[in-house]
A and B are shown apart, each in its own frame.
Chain A
Amino acid sequence: MGVLKDLKNLILGMGITGKHLGRHAVTIQYPEERWTMPEGSRGIVVLLSDKETGELNCTSCLLCMQACPTAAIRIDAPRGEDKKRRLISFDIDFGLCCFCGLCEEACNFCALKMAPKYEFSTLTKDELVWDMKKLQEMGRDVDYVDTRKKKKPKESVPGPAAPKADTVASPPANAESAKPEEPKPETPEQEEGNG
């Protein structure tokens, strides 16, 4: 009879929801418990610093600024008399950033990374624009694999060797030796391979 079949199906439906009463919840109580973000999560963009010297790895090549689809990255790095760029300011507007990760892929100097951090709500839109100092500070505890090409020691310099990018305990205070690495001449066509 139709009625009995309907009744059976109704009770079956209730049985399914009823058996969930005994199951443990799948949600976690944030902020007491936090989900561990997997490796490679795309959270906020941070500026990475050298592991030994603590200076920014950024060489002002401006590739990230050109790669960003929403123009969230604003870099002020004018060329000096020696035709090299000096990084004056590096702002990222997280109100515009779409967290696509193209800047991280464009960078060849391990200067940018998308850290798996996501808690940065602010009360005003202006606070979402982070300057170089804040970006570097947020990037201090982000671990990264240094894949930059190592600088060969210059043969002609006498005395203490010019500090290489990856030597241990190089004096950081010296303004001369702490100059950022020479940016490679921007090749018009850079390969984007299996990064």
Chain B
Amino acid sequence: MPELRTEEFQINMGPHHPSTHGVCRLLLTMDGEKVVEAVPYVGYLHRAIEKICENRTYHMCIPILDRFEYVTSMSCNYVFSLAAEKLARIEVPERAEYLRVIMLELNRIASHLIFVGTTAMDLGALTPFLYGLRERELIMDLFEMTCGQRLTYNYIRIGGVSRDIPPQFVPKCREAVRIIGGKLADYEGILNENPIWLARMKGIGYADPQQAIAWGVSGPVLRASGVKYDLRRDDPYSIYDKFNFDVAVRWNGDNYDRFLVRIDEIRQSLKIISQALDGLPEGETRAKVKARFKPPAGEVYVRIENSRGEMGVYLVSDGSEKPVRVKTRGGSYNQLQFLPEIVRGRGYLIADLVAIFATFDVIMPEVDR
């Protein structure tokens, strides 16, 4: 019997896609049902944020950089403020540092809750998304009472934070921490031990740690492959060295571990927030910074541990009130580059590709800026 001639064909998993991680186009080369190669095409969400920042003063850059990665907007505010403070050698008051840490960790939890929800949704379990959003509402209410907004905060400023927390923040925050800690058991009950979930996630999408390091991947994706690298521990910024928390790490490097690492991280963040609330000192919430802020000429690169990996800002200043160059570095970019390496030649189906893409937790605004 003569052999059937087969050939590979290309399918476009286009920018409009229900697996919403933003607008990302993947060009898949398929051999039948199996994916041979997946090439990402980016740029659909490019808004020239870095160029815009070159024409704005430092204080104005902060709301613009809010939109750099709007799921963890506090981190974007923070990394830029850190860069400017390092350039100008500003000392941030201690209360402001504690408030910053609380906000950053709350934002990390919110981001991971969205991750849990969207990953489950991509795999067909439609309910954990709404449960995740329900918990995230608690966090967003906390943010709303503090800084007035629910998504793009403009809260962490150069020199500190913009407003002090209202008196009902601390009890509400403790309440939120308690509720979220309790609800994690719900997610684990529906998802973690579910045989269907395990069949879809375990053993799929193995990420080799050496390769991951070579591609510059950081964050939960790296920690799920066994590399215990967390900037809060290895290159501490702010006052993270005062807190007692574990770095969540898993060793199998597959989808399931990437999922579990983030659930562990939620737990650790809850721990940090409790400790920060306990130790919150009195004091000022912002150092005196001029409205026309002019840092001395120079350049600085600062990096923080975002929920997606290493987020950094490379700031070049020439002494004027507008920065010369604001280069932002986001973890999602490297993870999107890493995706074809994982998928190439392993014989995954499109359903597996969707699952892998979901567990990478790539946010397109961070990739495209």
Direct contact of A and B (CB under 8 A): yes
Does B320 interact with chain A (Cβ within 8 Å)?
no
Query: Would A188 and B292 count as touching, CB distance under 8 A?
Result: yes
Query: Would B63 and A189 count as touching, CB distance under 8 A?
Result: no
Query: Would A9 and B195 count as touching, CB distance under 8 A?
Result: yes
Q: Could you tell me which residues of chain B, from 125 to 165, have a CB within 8 Å of some CB in chain A?
A: 127, 134, 137, 141, 144-149, 152, 154, 162-164
Query: Would B190 and A17 count as touching, CB distance under 8 A?
Result: yes
How many contacting A-B pairs (Cβ < 8 A)? 95
Other-chain residue from A6, A102, A188 in contact with B154 (beta carbon distance below 8 A): A102
Q: Could you tell me which residues of chain B, from 52 to 92, have a CB within 8 Å of some CB in chain A?
A: 56, 59-64, 66-67
Query: Would A40 and B291 count as touching, CB distance under 8 A?
Result: no
Other-chain residue from A12, A17, A41, A193 in contact with B148 (beta carbon distance below 8 A): A41
Interface segment among B25-33, B241-249, B282-290, B346-354: the answer is B282-290
What are 29 A-B residue pairs whose CB atoms fall within 8 Å in the complex?
A6-B195, A12-B189, A12-B193, A38-B145, A39-B166, A40-B145, A40-B166, A41-B149, A67-B60, A68-B60, A69-B61, A98-B63, A98-B64, A98-B66, A98-B67, A100-B66, A101-B154, A102-B154, A105-B162, A188-B292, A189-B290, A189-B292, A190-B290, A190-B291, A191-B290, A192-B289, A192-B291, A193-B288, A194-B164
Task: State how many angstroms separate the Cβ of A112 from the closest Cβ of chain B.
Answer: 14
- B56 neighbours in A (Cβ, 8 Å): 69
Task: State how many angstroms separate the Cβ of B31 from the closest Cβ of chain A.
Answer: 32
- B127 neighbours in A (Cβ, 8 Å): 17
Task: State how many angstroms separate the Cβ of A37 from the closest Cβ of chain B.
Answer: 8
Task: State how many angstroms separate the Cβ of B281 from the closest Cβ of chain A.
Answer: 15
Does A26 interact with chain B (Cβ within 8 Å)?
yes
**7 tightest A-B contacts by CB?**
A100-B63, A42-B148, A69-B60, A6-B195, A9-B193, A38-B145, A100-B154
- B134 neighbours in A (Cβ, 8 Å): 26
Query: Would B154 and A193 count as touching, CB distance under 8 A?
Result: no
Query: Would A191 and B189 count as touching, CB distance under 8 A?
Result: no
Contact with B along A33-60 (1 / 0, CB 8 A): 0000111111000000000000000000
Q: How far is the CA of A195 from the CA of B164 in the complex (A)?
A: 9
Query: Would A40 and B59 count as touching, CB distance under 8 A?
Result: no
Does A16 interact with chain B (Cβ within 8 Å)?
yes
Does B194 interact with chain A (Cβ within 8 Å)?
yes
Query: Would B148 and A191 count as touching, CB distance under 8 A?
Result: no
Q: Given contacts A9-B193, A16-B186, are A69 and B64 in contact (CB under 8 A)?
A: yes
Query: Would A194 and B286 count as touching, CB distance under 8 A?
Result: yes
- A15 neighbours in B (Cβ, 8 Å): 189
Does A165 interact with chain B (Cβ within 8 Å)?
no
Does A135 interact with chain B (Cβ within 8 Å)?
no
B161 and chain A: residue at smallest CB distance: A194
Does A160 interact with chain B (Cβ within 8 Å)?
no
Does A10 interact with chain B (Cβ within 8 Å)?
yes
* Interface size in chain A (residues, C-beta < 8 A): 34
Query: Would B195 and A10 count as touching, CB distance under 8 A?
Result: yes
Task: State how many angstroms separate the Cβ of B365 from the closest Cβ of chain A.
Answer: 15
Q: Given contacts A6-B195, A26-B137, A99-B149, are A106 and B291 in contact (CB under 8 A)?
A: yes
Task: State how many angstroms separate the Cβ of A65 from the closest Cβ of chain B.
Answer: 12
A16 and chain B: residue at smallest CB distance: B189
Query: Would B290 and A101 count as touching, CB distance under 8 A?
Result: no
Other-chain residue from B145, B149, B190, B292 in contact with A13 (beta carbon distance below 8 A): B190
Contact with A along B282-313 (1 / 0, CB 8 A): 00111011111000000000000000000000
Task: State how many angstroms separate the Cβ of B90 from the closest Cβ of chain A.
Answer: 12
A43 and chain B: residue at smallest CB distance: B148
Q: Could you tell me which residues of chain A, from 176 to 190, have a CB within 8 Å of some CB in chain B?
A: 188-190
Q: Given contacts A69-B64, A193-B286, are A42 and B190 in contact (CB under 8 A)?
A: no
Q: Given contacts A6-B195, A98-B63, are A189 and B291 in contact (CB under 8 A)?
A: yes
- A68 neighbours in B (Cβ, 8 Å): 60
Given A40-B166, A101-B154, A192-B291, output 20 extra A-B contacts at Cβ < 8 Å. Answer: A10-B194, A10-B196, A13-B189, A13-B190, A16-B186, A38-B148, A39-B145, A40-B147, A40-B163, A41-B149, A69-B63, A98-B63, A98-B152, A100-B154, A102-B59, A191-B291, A192-B286, A192-B289, A194-B164, A195-B163
Other-chain residue from A9, A67, A114, A189 in contact with B59 (beta carbon distance below 8 A): A67
Kindly name the residue among A38, A67, A189 whose own CB sees the greatest number of chain B CB atoms within 10 A: A38
Task: State how many angstroms separate the Cβ of A8 from the closest Cβ of chain B.
Answer: 9
Q: How far is the CA of A192 from the CA of B59 in the complex (A)?
A: 11
Q: How far is the CA of A10 from the CA of B192 in the complex (A)?
A: 11
Q: Could you tell me which residues of chain A, from 1 to 29, have a CB within 8 Å of some CB in chain B?
A: 6, 9-10, 12-13, 15-17, 26
Other-chain residue from B61, B149, B290 in contact with A42 (beta carbon distance below 8 A): B149
A190 and chain B: residue at smallest CB distance: B291
Query: Would A40 and B148 count as touching, CB distance under 8 A?
Result: yes
- A9 neighbours in B (Cβ, 8 Å): 193-195
- A38 neighbours in B (Cβ, 8 Å): 141, 144-145, 148, 166
Task: State how many angstroms separate the Cβ of A113 from the closest Cβ of chain B.
Answer: 11
